[in-house]
Structure 1
């Protein structure tokens, strides 16, 4: 089979097209003919060598998000059969082959049947960002109907999904973005209030929307300086969840406000054998929400082929993408 392989960690030029053996099916696994994948920030970090704790041994095939068709199943697999269309966050990390290949061997616990009302390309954009947003909002922040939540990064991969999930559960959603186009995306996705953080200071928007008390629940998908902004925007005894905490911060606001602070790093669940079943079960719930028309991925207008993986990584790292970057297998 054809595959995009890296033999060393580095910049986006490390990918090279190679012929590899088709993986043999193992117990509890299925072989997928890959139709599409998407690139996430974690994929670029793995490629660069920045996260050795979760990186596969070299040479490696990267990318976790996958959508495709089941071509072979192990004898002990009963939930899937040959010809099923499936999707999931299923590899590309330590001990697991990735999606940048014609075929991918996946643990059946990490996939679900593809929603019937979306394309393979859309399905490939769903798993990592949606499972991340689900864990952040419902398992960590525990938001519910009538809650208010501030979601940073309206047009980002995780942010745009988080807005839709929060609205699905019945919350009131405030979101931030850097320009009018991204603010409109947030509104179109269901956000009740969209805030231009370049034109309104934290103090200005908490005064305007919370009477100066701050937000009780904040989901920060941006990190860096914005995490400090989240500390400043939080109400006393509030909860902050982040997916980007690889930075140094003064934690005094957490103490002075009595805040609860959570970090979500979804790959820990992917790599932990005891957590995989939960991911697959959650993906089934997500499938139902998608088929109800309550959730849809935002796909960047630039769609790449597997032969253009270098360009796809460079585009993500440029910061110009809106929503998710998808790659289609044309081999």
Structure 2
């Protein structure tokens, strides 16, 4: 069968002919892959640069996708077994780590929305424990995951949603109650930016951060200066598009009711991940949620691999 194979750590995938997977245990499930999303996480895991990577090569690229069992049932899977990944004509998965796709959802939408939807759903429900009284800030509400996070916060009952990031047009179109673009401010206007930011987010109780780095430092400084010191703030770190590190002021932690936590594959258990994806599919149907995507054939994997993550590249197999 055809597969996109990565031979060494950091090497780009190439199309090769490999043996089909074999079922060896009762939990093994062989799926005929129909579509796979090229998320940043999927590419990082494939290349061996993600914290959850299994650095055993060669292996089939791709972490997640949509496949069909031999009896015609459609499943979303996140993670494969052995050397098999999502970017192949067939893959081998643990049936306990799959989610059945509702009939109302097409395979491309399911492949495109599962990962970004799970990132915000799990963060809001299992980490922040969102309520109807929460005001949610989405930091980095310009890409696929961040834009969907705005819609997800509303779907889960947030009282108010605020969007921040650099791309003003994307923020404007994200659909939040209010937004602020850091690109509107020059280097000598950072004091004004912090003031405007602080005034806008003074009542925020949940932050979903897809950027980290300097934008996170600015949000924390603004919360320290302008928020109600007695209000609980749950700050959820999800992505690090700006930087993997920050300078965290100790005074913020001592002087405010501030909880900092991460949300990712290591901070969620298997049941929470599976439940999150099931709920994402349900919310996608009931609230007409979707994400922009661009489709590519498997043989065009090199072209698709270099494309930006927004719109989401989807490999059709």
Q: Give the TM-score of the pair, scaled to structure 1.
A: 0.81
Q: Which segments of 5 or more consecutive residues in structure 2 lack a partner in the other structure? A: 186-192
Please show how residues 80-159 of structure 1 align to structure 2 within 5 Å. 82-91=71-80, 95=82, 97-159=84-146
Q: Equivalent residue for 1:250?
A: 247
What per-residue deviation string (whole Å, max 9, x for no partner) do you get for residues 173-228 of structure 1?
111242343124301xxx22232222262321321x35xx3522111012222221
**Any idea what SS the aligned residue of 2:206 has?**
strand
SS of the aligned residue for 2:163 comes to: strand
Q: Is the 8 A contact 2:6 2:59 kept in 1?
A: yes
- How far did 1:268 drift? 6.2
Report the aligned-residue RMSD. Answer: 2.4
What corresponds to 1:297 in structure 2? Answer: 290
User: Alpha carbons of 1:27 and 1:185: their partners in 2 closer, same or farther (altered >3 Å)?
Assistant: farther
Query: CA separation in 1, counterparts of 2:233 and 2:116?
Result: 24
Q: How many equivalent pairs are there?
A: 298
- Mapped partners of 2:152, 2:122: distance in 1: 11
Q: 2:282 aligns with which of 282, 288, 298?
A: 288
Distance (Å, rounded) in 2 between the aligned partners of 1:48 and 1:217: 33
| 2:180 corresponds to 1:195 | yes
Query: 2:197 matched to which residue of 1?
Result: 205
Instruction: Sort the Cα spacing of 1:134 and 1:177 in 2 relative to 1 into closer, same or farther, 3 A.
Output: same
Query: What TM-score comes out, normalization by structure 2 length?
Result: 0.85
Question: How far, CA to CA, are the matches of 2:21 and 2:266 in structure 1?
Answer: 22
Provide the rounded CA distance (Å) in 1 between the counterparts of 2:237 and 2:270.
Answer: 21
Deviates most, 30-39 or 150-159: 150-159
List aligned pairs for 1:13-92, cutoff 5 A.
14-25=12-23, 26-51=25-50, 53-71=52-70, 82-91=71-80
Where structure 1 has 5 or more consecutive residues not aligned to the other structure, the ranges are: 72-81, 270-274
In the other structure, the counterpart of 2:188 is: none
Whether contact under 8 Å (1:88, 1:124) holds in the other structure is: no
